[in-house]
Structure 1
Amino acid sequence: MNASMELNLEEMLRIRLEVLRREHRDLDEAISALEATGRPDQLTLRRLKKQKLCLKDQIVKIEDSLIPDIIA
């Protein structure tokens, strides 16, 4: 029963990871589009970059939890 719960948790984390990666990619595209306008709103640009960085931190956290620790 416990192994089944762990698989479900791992599956949920993988789904969450994919959603976060997609959001990160979308933010990257939005930042690029905003920068391409010539004179982007710096406040909006900063907020988007900060949000993108926060997503990256969440992605790394989930990736670290999915990769088992191997003691060499």
Structure 2
Amino acid sequence: MSDEELQTRLELLRIEHRDLDEAIAALVEAGNPDQLRAARLKKRKLQLRDRIVVLENQLIPDIIA
């Protein structure tokens, strides 16, 4: 994958991560949150965060100090 493709994928993952954050907040604010659904959304959010970190690391060149 080229750097440009990685950047595009990274931005899409960040958008999805923010959307999940908003969905979780809305679910909690609803008063009677569905605990199972909230847990699934949080798990998905963590998976996205892990994938974001991997992509960010691929974009950062290895620098030998």
**1:30-72 Cα shifts (integer Å, max 9, x gaps):** 0000000112000000000000000000000000000011111
Q: Which residue of 2 aligns with 1:17?
A: 10
* 2:2 partner letter: L
Mapping of residues 41-52 of structure 1, within 5 Å: 41-52=34-45
Is 1:30 aligned to residue 50 of structure 2?
no
Match of 2:54 among 53, 58, 61: 61
Query: Which structure would you say has the larger Rg?
Result: 1
* 1-structure distance, mates of 2:23, 2:62: 36
For this pair of structures, how many residues does the alignment match?
A: 65
4+ runs of 1 displaced by more than 2 Å?
none
* 1:50 partner letter: K
Stretches of structure 1 that go unaligned for 5 or more consecutive residues are: 1-7
TM-score with structure 2 setting the length: 0.96
What is the root-mean-square deviation in Å for CA atoms of aligned residues?
Answer: 0.9
- Aligned identity (percent) is 63
